[in-house]
Amino acid sequence: METKTVNIPDISCGHCLAAVKREAGEVKGVKSVEGDVATKQVTIKWDAPATWDQIAVALKDAGYPAK
């Protein structure tokens, strides 16, 4: 399992965080998405067939690009 913690500066509320969790969670292979609105950090855990590139594209397409 791979894990990555990223900053997502556009998270400003619980709704934003829920959208990030939903969009990243739709990538096949993503196991968990946890985040904190105050720190704007999100930790994502995944297995194959998911790749970080696929997850990053899903976040960007949802309007919440990881930095």
Domain 2-61 has CATH 3.30.70.100: yes
Q: Give Cα 22 distance to the centre of its chain.
A: 8
Question: Which pTM does this prediction carry?
Answer: 0.93
pLDDT digits (tens, 9 = 90+) for 40-49: 999 999 999 9
Closest CA to 38 of 5, 21, 13, 56: 13
pLDDT of residue 48: 94
The pLDDT confidence band at residue 3, using thresholds 50, 70 and 90, is: very high
User: What are the two backbone dihedrals, phi and then psi, of residue 36, each rounded to the nearest 5 degrees?
Assistant: -135, 120
Look at residue 41 and give its three-state secondary structure.
Answer: strand
